[in-house]
Amino acid sequence: MLPRMKSLRIFLPLAVTFSLSIPAFAASNLPRFYGDAPDEHHPWAIHDGNRPQPAVVTPGSFSTQDQPGKPPSDAKILFDGSSLTKWEADEGVNQATKWIIKDGAMECVPGSGFIRTKEQFGDCQLHVEWAAPTKAEEDSQGRGNSGIFLMGLVEIQVLDNYNNPTYPDGFASSVYGQNPPLVNALRAPGEYQTYDIVFRRPIYKDGKVVDPGYVTVFVNGVLTQDHFPLEGGTGHMGRSHPGPFPEKGPLKLQDHGNPVRYRNIWYRELPPRIVEGSTDGYLSTEATMAKRKQIAASLREDAPKLKNDQDIVPEMSRWMESLVYEKDAAAYQVVEKMSAQYTDSLKALSKEQLAPKKDQIRGVRDAFRFLAKFKIVPQDFPAKVALQKIIDEQGWDKKRK
């Protein structure tokens, strides 16, 4: 029973997703063939039912000025307003910070230095809320200045630019010294501003850049950095220079002499990029073939678990599917043998006995058509021909024109 249950579990989400468009696909154990087959740059077929379902994340809620929102279920909470246990002073080792907690926010104590997370991380979706002092004092870079240092190296500027011009590449949500924000979407000082940041660190291999890294920022829901390619870490007054980054670093918040407050800080780790071994997207031929081999192997491993004395199709379907990802002589022979067995068993049936199997027979025939279309089996593959003959004899294709 267990293998069967496993197969059902895999199919249930598909039934939900695709039930309107292709009920036969979801309601049976037929091969999951639908769109274009895998090719030399894509390990998965188009609309591939074997591709893993996205992980479920329970979304959080949006913040109001009075109340911070709830983070999504897979977020790593760095600061929830209650304690600074995940933070330390940005000096020495294990030094307590002098920043304070007030009204559910952490507040920079001028002169106390940067604060940093004890945890180190790299690529992330980062959520930070901050508020400049309500009373606007000084101007330009002197008003409500702080900063969010990704990996401690790239500053996304925090500054009260509400009716306060400054040099554009030092504006709030600029990539400091590299790129001004697209727009100024700030609220008045004293109000909480929300930064949602997507950060991809630069990746180097053998001293050469393979991905410059990118920053995307939304300020209060408004896009201000649009996948901006980094030029290395940021600094003050000096031109940034691209160069290798570590894999991880602490998140740092800047003490720039203003009592800026922060609340509701969390991040979500991002999956690796293709250059780091991800197999989603347009891959090199080598990576594609390696992944296809892996998918085929897992299907061949799964196939015997679907063995069912009453119905050969579930197990046979898995073997057939495996050929789509990898042409394997042994698996091909299994399909030859099982499909011959299947068609032989059908030939012994009367019209009445065949009738309830109509959908399945046509489904398997369609699967062999798919395999033939992508040259995985020849057009005259015996089971394909035999199934078509049964379908023609029963007149099951008449409505298909």
Q: How far is the CB of 251 from Mg ion (least distance, A)?
A: 14
Nearer CB in complex with Mg ion: 244/257: 257
C-alpha distances in angstroms, 109 versus 86, 128, 155?
18, 18, 19
Nearer CB in complex with Mg ion: 115/299: 115
Nearer CB in complex with Mg ion: 219/295: 219
Q: How far is the CB of 176 from Mg ion (least distance, A)?
A: 6
Q: How far is the CB of 265 from Mg ion (least distance, A)?
A: 16
Q: Which stretch binds Mg ion (CB under 5 A): 192-200, 240-248, 255-263, 391-399?
A: 255-263
Nearer CB in complex with Mg ion: 256/318: 256
Nearer CB in complex with Mg ion: 45/260: 260
Instruction: Give the residue at shortest CB distance from Mg ion.
Output: 147
Q: Which stretch binds Mg ion (CB under 5 A): 38-46, 140-148, 359-367, 393-401?
A: 140-148
Q: How far is the CB of 148 from Mg ion (least distance, A)?
A: 9
Spatial separation of the C-alpha atoms in residues 125 and 196, rounded to whole Å: 7
Nearer CB in complex with Mg ion: 164/254: 254
Spatial separation of the C-alpha atoms in residues 339 and 246, rounded to whole Å: 54
Q: How far is the CB of 158 from Mg ion (least distance, A)?
A: 6
Q: Which stretch binds Mg ion (CB under 5 A): 34-42, 139-147, 225-233, 313-321?
A: 139-147
Q: Which stretch binds Mg ion (CB under 5 A): 25-33, 137-145, 216-224, 278-286?
A: 137-145
- 180 lines the binding site for Mg ion (CB under 5 A): no
Residues 34-73 binding Mg ion (CB under 5 A) are none
Among positions 31, 147, 213, 250, the unique one binding Mg ion when judged by CB under 5 A: 147
Nearer CB in complex with Mg ion: 260/295: 260
Q: How far is the CB of 147 from Mg ion (least distance, A)?
A: 3
**SS3 of the chain:** CHHHHHHHHHHHHHHHHHCCCCHHHHHCCCCCCCCCCCCCCCCCCCCCCCCCCCCCCCCCCCCCCCCCCCCCCCCEEEECCCCCCCEEECCCCCCCCCCEEECCEEECCCCCCCEEEEEEECCEEEEEEEECCCCCCCCHHHCCCEEEEECCCEEEEECCCCCCCCCHHHCCCCECCCECCCCCCCCCCCCCEEEEEEEECCEEECCEEEECCEEEEEECCEEEEEEEECCCCCCCCCCCCCCCCCCCEEEEECCCCCCCEEEEEEEEECCCCHHHCCCCCCCCHHHHHHHHHHHHHHHHHHHHHHCCCCCCHHHHHHHHHHHHHCCCHHHHHHHHHHHHHHHHHHHCCCHHHHHHHHHHHHHHHHHHHHHHHCCCCCCCCHHHHHHHHHHHHHCCCHHHC
Q: How far is the CB of 202 from Mg ion (least distance, A)?
A: 21
Q: Which stretch binds Mg ion (CB under 5 A): 8-16, 145-153, 212-220, 239-247?
A: 145-153
Nearer CB in complex with Mg ion: 147/213: 147
Q: Which stretch binds Mg ion (CB under 5 A): 10-18, 83-91, 254-262, 276-284?
A: 254-262
Spatial separation of the C-alpha atoms in residues 141 and 143, rounded to whole Å: 6
Q: How far is the CB of 26 from Mg ion (least distance, A)?
A: 53
Q: How far is the CB of 109 from Mg ion (least distance, A)?
A: 16
C-alpha distances in angstroms, 253 versus 59, 87, 211?
26, 10, 26
Nearer CB in complex with Mg ion: 43/147: 147
Query: Which spans of this chain sit near Mg ion (rule: CB under 5 A)?
Result: 145, 147, 254, 256
